[in-house]
């Protein structure tokens, strides 16, 4: 893993305990699921998932995010037991290599086992809403906690994509979640906020959020952003007959959104393809340094 820099760009956010770079960080996705929208089934087997995580680190990922439950729109939940079975061996192997691993889970028992296996970040897409015991666990473990904007489980979340002022409401709801988890003992300095691109949001909502990361940054915490291969990009790049661009062909558009996010000071971007996105954040770092 790259060494921390001694003189980071003072404009860049940072999170205690996570090696600092002079650029936006890159989190590589390891979905140990049979049904994720973007790469479902490719890394379902533990050995394949471990190899994939190692490849992402070799390509320059600062963090690998390991998840065992698909959250694509309409997805049904898996059992906690199954989620544990999927993620724990993968996390243990990658952490043993020295990788900085986050666990993508809404379940406290999965987060607990993941931390025991060596994960050092909890990425909870529900921001503590799905499992009310989660903030306590994270508070006790004193690890960075990704609090994402979320309005309910994936099976019907798109019915909740109703806003009069999406940026204002997402900021207010994130602020409420930050206050709630701090009330449970989470150190405010360890919170990372995420506007939750695609979660109870239409394409228009996603674009509005991506255009106004400054407003989310005003919450005072580093931003994690995950646009990679998401549906709004597929819609934007639809064929003339309206067929959305398939997830695997949304890589270049993902890099474009990474550039936009990094230029607005995002702390980290979460992506499926690491190499081109590391290039993009390095370009943005050079551009920012020259301004
Ligand atoms: N999106 C997905 C999964 N985990 N975590 C955070 N913090 N933010 C996100 O937007 C997010 C996430 C869904 O994407 P995937 O199925 O490609 O992993």
Residue 1 in any domain: the answer is: no
Q: Which of 28, 125, 224, 271 to mutate to test the pocket of ligand 1 (most atoms within 8 A of CB)?
A: 125
Residue 20 in any domain: the answer is: no
Asked if residue 132 lies in contact with residue 5, where contact means CB atoms within 8 angstroms, the answer is: no
276 is in which domain, residue-wise?
25-290
Asked if residue 83 lies in contact with residue 108, where contact means CB atoms within 8 angstroms, the answer is: no
Residue 213, class by beta-carbon neighbours within 10 Å (0-12 exposed, 13-18 middle, 19+ buried)?
buried
Residue 10 in any domain: the answer is: no
Residue 288 annotated as catalytic = no
Question: What's the number of domains the chain is made of?
Answer: 1
Distant-in-sequence, close-in-space partners of 70: CB < 8 Å, separation ≥ 6: 31, 33, 34, 35, 36, 37, 40, 78, 154
Distant-in-sequence, close-in-space partners of 259: CB < 8 Å, separation ≥ 6: 280, 283, 284
Task: Supply φ then ψ for residue 287, to 5 degrees.
Answer: -65, -45
Asked if residue 211 lies in contact with residue 239, where contact means CB atoms within 8 angstroms, the answer is: no
Residue 42 in any domain: the answer is: yes
Residue 4 in any domain: the answer is: no
Q: Convert the pLDDT of each residue in 26-37 to its tens digit.
A: 999 999 998 777
Residue 18 in any domain: the answer is: no
- By alpha-carbon position, which residue is closest to atom 6 of ligand 1? 125
Please state whether beta strands 101-104 and 224-225 pair in parallel, antiparallel, or not at all (unpaired): unpaired
Ligand 1 pocket, CB under 6 A: 29, 31, 36-38, 70-72, 104, 123, 125, 146, 148, 194, 196-197, 224, 226, 270
pLDDT at residue 2 tops 70: no
Distance 6 CA to ligand 1 centre (A): 31
Residue 215 in any domain: the answer is: yes
Strands (E) located in 74-162: 101-104, 121-124, 145-148
Query: From the candidates 151, 177, 230, 250, which is the catalytic residue?
Result: 230
Q: How high is the pLDDT of residue 40? A: 67
Q: How high is the pLDDT of residue 135? A: 98
Q: How high is the pLDDT of residue 10? A: 54
Residue 201 annotated as catalytic = no
Residue 13 in any domain: the answer is: no
Query: Average of pLDDT values for 189-216?
Result: 98
- Range 90-101 burial, b when 16+ CB lie within 10 A, else e: bbbbbbeeebbb
Q: Convert the pLDDT of each residue in 74-108 to its tens digit.
A: 778 899 999 999 999 999 999 999 999 999 999 99
What is the Cα–Cα distance from 56 to 83, expressed in whole angstroms?
22
pTM above 0.85, yes or no: yes
Looking at residue 195, which CATH number applies to its domain?
Answer: 3.20.20.20
């Amino acid at each position: 893993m790259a060494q921390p820099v001694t003189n980071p760009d003072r404009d860049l956010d940072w999170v205690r305990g996570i090696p600092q770079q002079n650029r936006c960080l890159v989190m590589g996705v390891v979905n140990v699921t049979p049904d994720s929208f973007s790469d479902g089934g490719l890394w379902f087997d533990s050995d394949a998932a471990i190899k994939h995580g190692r490849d992402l680190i070799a390509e320059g990922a600062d963090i690998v995010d390991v998840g065992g439950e698909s959250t694509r729109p309409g997805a049904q939940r898996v059992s906690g037991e199954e989620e544990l079975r999927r993620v724990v061996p993968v996390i243990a192997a990658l952490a043993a290599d020295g990788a900085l691993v986050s666990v993508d889970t809404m379940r406290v028992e999965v987060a607990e086992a993941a931390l025991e296996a060596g994960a050092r970040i909890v990425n909870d897409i529900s921001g503590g809403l799905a499992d009310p015991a989660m903030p306590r666990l994270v508070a006790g473990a004193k690890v960075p906690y990704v609090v994402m904007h979320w309005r309910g489980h994936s099976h019907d979340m798109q019915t909740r994509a109703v806003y009069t002022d999406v940026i204002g409401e997402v900021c207010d709801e994130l602020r409420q979640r930050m206050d709630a988890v701090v009330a449970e003992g989470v150190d405010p300095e360890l919170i990372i906020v995420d506007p939750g691109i695609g979660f109870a949001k239409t394409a228009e909502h996603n674009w509005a959020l991506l255009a106004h990361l400054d407003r989310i940054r005003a919450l005072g915490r580093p931003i994690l952003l995950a646009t990679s291969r998401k549906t709004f990009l597929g819609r934007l790049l639809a064929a003339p007959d309206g067929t959305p661009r398939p997830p695997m062909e949304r890589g270049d558009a993902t890099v474009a959104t990474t550039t936009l996010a990094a230029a607005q000071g995002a702390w980290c971007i979460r992506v499926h393809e690491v190499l081109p996105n590391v290039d993009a954040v390095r370009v943005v770092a050079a551009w920012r340094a020259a301004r």
